[in-house]
Structure 1
Amino acid sequence: MIGLVLAAGAGRRLRPYTDTLPKALVPLARERDGRPVTVLDLTLANFAAIGLTEAAVVVGYRQEAVRERRSLLERRHGVKLTLIENDKAEEWNNAYSLWCARQVLGEGVILANGDTVHPASVERALLAARGGDRRIILALDTVKKLADEEMKVVSDPAAGVRRITKLMDPAEAGGEYIGVTLIEPGAAADLADALRTTFERDPGLYYEDGYQELVDRGFRIDTAPIGEVPWVEIDNHEDLARGREIACRY
């Protein structure tokens, strides 16, 4: 199993930081060497903490910044990196971005969005939930009070995920998907096909819409609650301030 990070997005709401950097490389804190700690750093550190030694990173917008830091990231975290180019990063949404990584899905991955600040306990919760016929497991926050922008999930203990979408009454949902997933090798082909169907229907769709496509086809997707842990998806400057506060705890 390897790590997989989606880091192709532009993050326009974080300008001026993202005028020259992808969102995954916006500084959160400073390390002892004076170099910035980013979401990508924290995610790779999480992968290393659970014993992963390889990771793939999907790059697109300002990808040269990731390429320039590749050796530093490998040294800092002890994780060998493979970079995968998303050639439509500034045109299409992340259903296509995850599809670009379809070849590495067959190795089994822990997928993390490049804008989610979270502790390694999230990855550990996913690993602890493995077993049986579980092929895709979503990290779910069942504690947070939900609003309109969250990626909301309705899940049945007996049947797994039934709905995953932002377009849902928060009162109907059982939790929020935080942008971290365990994908077993046996799910790779089905997921890649669902993602392709999703972005061919509408390039503006999310990979979570691909998950919904899988569910609609009868594929079971499971969830793992992460407990009450500090995390944030960084979309804007308010989120960035929260991410910096959380990052100081790790």
Structure 2
Amino acid sequence: MKALVLAGGTGSRLRPLTHTLAKQLIPLANKPVILYGIEAIVAAGIREIGVVVGATARDLRDAIGDGSRFGAQVTYLVQEEPLGLAHAVRVARDWLGADDFLMFLGDNYVASGIADLMAQYRAGPAADAWILLAKVADPTRFGIADPSDNGTVVRIEEKPAVPRSDLAVVGIYLFTPAVHEAVAAIEVSARGELEITDAVQRLIDSGRTVRGSLVSGYWKDTGTVDDLLEANNAVLEDVVRSVRGDVDAGSEVIGRVRVEEGASIVRSRVVGPSVIGADVHVRDSVVGPFTSVAEGCWITGSTVRSSVLLDGVRLDGAGPIESSLLGRHARVAGPGPGLRPQRLVLSDHSSVLLTG
């Protein structure tokens, strides 16, 4: 079996950050979300991985490499335009050959991995497609499955106005080569894309067997700022306390906090769960809880909580910053104490001056 990881989308719901950064590379607890997926794939016993890439191919190649450090072999497959998930399967058709394959959306996070799904698939009963499902509060935002009592799926619909169930299709699928015929037969949707849900429905309509199973544990599609921050919180819940950087006598590190080597904390308080990356400098500030601070950030005279800071962010007299996503080398400055709480979503190299 092979795995197909999709990372060619534009990430429009995470703009402006995704104008310069692949959405699959936005970190959860300082690790790009796509790497959690690749690790889960390898843990489930799949070693041949194709990664579908688009405009952000170079950054993705730099982050993933040839797969050897994960114990895998990675092949990059170029999708010239993001024309839908089923289009990505078309792009990968020659590489996939006659193999069964797992399709994994690169911006999805599944805490429990996919070992249970693979075990169910391998144990049978046989199916031409096996889709992972999760109960959701707003079914109109997702592809929704209508399952029968025996576990087969009788209908699947993309973002239905009147949903038949509350079972969303998680971005993880198992397919036999039968899906290629279905993908070839579907037409572009009203959204201008080739929808994988249409291909799965084509399998059902042609008499093929499609099965579904509920995800075990936590799952999140990190395609929006709120969902990404929620997933970051979930990952941080499992942080193990480790203080390898320097913490002076005037500082407090409270709870489950990971402080990487080269970091320094001076006259500050860091509240867990939080992660402080390598070469981060925190001075006269409060960080956390539920905050990830990536490598090389400087935080001075500021307060930040429930946020994700990417590499090289600088906060100077800013805050409180809350529920924010700050791109690489973004800078936020302010007059210090007395500011009202701010929520910011900033692209790489942004500069913001807070005045009140």
Distance in 1, Cα, partners of 2:46 & 2:100: 11
Alignment partner, residue 14 of structure 2: 14
Uncovered stretches (5+) of structure 2, i.e. residues with no partner: 240-356
Give the deviation of 1:242 after TM superposition: 1.2
TM-score normalized by the length of structure 1: 0.84
Instruction: Tell me which residue corresponds to 1:204.
Output: 193
- The offset of 1:135, in angstroms, is 2.5
Partner of 2:88: 97
Structure 2 length-normalised TM: 0.60
Q: What is the distance in 2 between the residues matched to 1:123 and 1:135?
A: 19
Q: Report matched runs for 1:161-176 at 5 Å.
A: 161-165=153-157, 166-170=159-163, 172-173=164-165, 175-176=167-168
Give 1:68 shift: 2.5
Contact 2:128 2:208 in 1 (8 A): no
- How big is the shift at 1:22? 1.9
Aligned-residue offset at 1:77: 1.8
The SS at the match of 2:27 is coil
CA distance in 2, matches of 1:15, 1:111: 25
Deviation of 1:16 (Å):
2.9
Return the match for 1:79 from 72, 75, 89: 72
Cα-to-partner distance string for 1:102-137 (whole Å, 9 max, x where unaligned): 231622222111121112443422432432322211
Tell me the residue number matched to 1:122: 114
Identify the structure with the greater strand proportion. 2
Secondary structure of the structure 2 residue equivalent to 1:98: helix
Matches within 5 A, 1:151-170: 151-158=143-150, 160-165=152-157, 166-170=159-163
Structure 1's 201 and 140: CA in aligned 2 closer, same or farther, altered over 3 A? closer
Query: 2:51 corresponds to which residue?
Result: 57
For 2:108 and 2:171, the matched residues in 1 are separated by: 7
CA positional deviation for 1:201: 6.6
1:235 maps to: 223
The one-letter code matched in structure 2 to 1:178 is V
Cα distance in 1 between the residues matched to 2:119 and 2:166: 21
Aligned equivalents of 2:187, 2:110: Cα separation in 1: 28
**CA gap 1:159/1:40 in 2 versus in 1, 3 angstroms:** closer
Greater per-residue helix proportion:
1
Instruction: Provide the aligned C-alpha RMSD in A.
Output: 2.2
1:132 counterpart = 2:125: yes
Aligned twin of 1:225? 214
Report the Cα distance in structure 2 between the residues aligned to 1:67 and 1:121, rounded to whole angstroms.
23
Q: Distance in 1 between matches of 2:69 and 2:57?
A: 19
Whichever residue aligns with residue 16 of structure 2, its letter is P
Give the total of aligned pairs.
234
Aligned partners of 1:110 and 1:123 also within 8 Å = no
**2:139–2:168 Cα contact (<8 Å) kept:** no
Alignment of 1:216 with 2:205, yes or no, is yes
In 1, Cα distance between the equivalents of 2:20 and 2:71? 26
Is the CA contact (8 Å cut-off) linking 1:231 and 1:246 kept in structure 2?
Answer: no
Structure 1 position 208, deviation (Å):
1.4
Equivalent residue runs for 1:138-149 within 5 Å: 138-141=131-134, 143-149=135-141
Contact 2:188–2:194, Cα closer than 8 Å, also in 1: no
RCO higher in 1 or 2 (8 Å CA, sep ≥ 6)? 1
1:158: how far off?
4.1
Shift of the alpha carbon at 1:169?
2.6
1:26-45 to 2 correspondence within 5 Å? 26-30=26-30, 37-45=31-39
Aligned pair 1:66/2:60, yes or no?
A: yes
**Identity rate, percent:** 24
- Matched AA of 1:51: G
List runs of 5+ in structure 1 lacking aligned partners.
Answer: 31-36
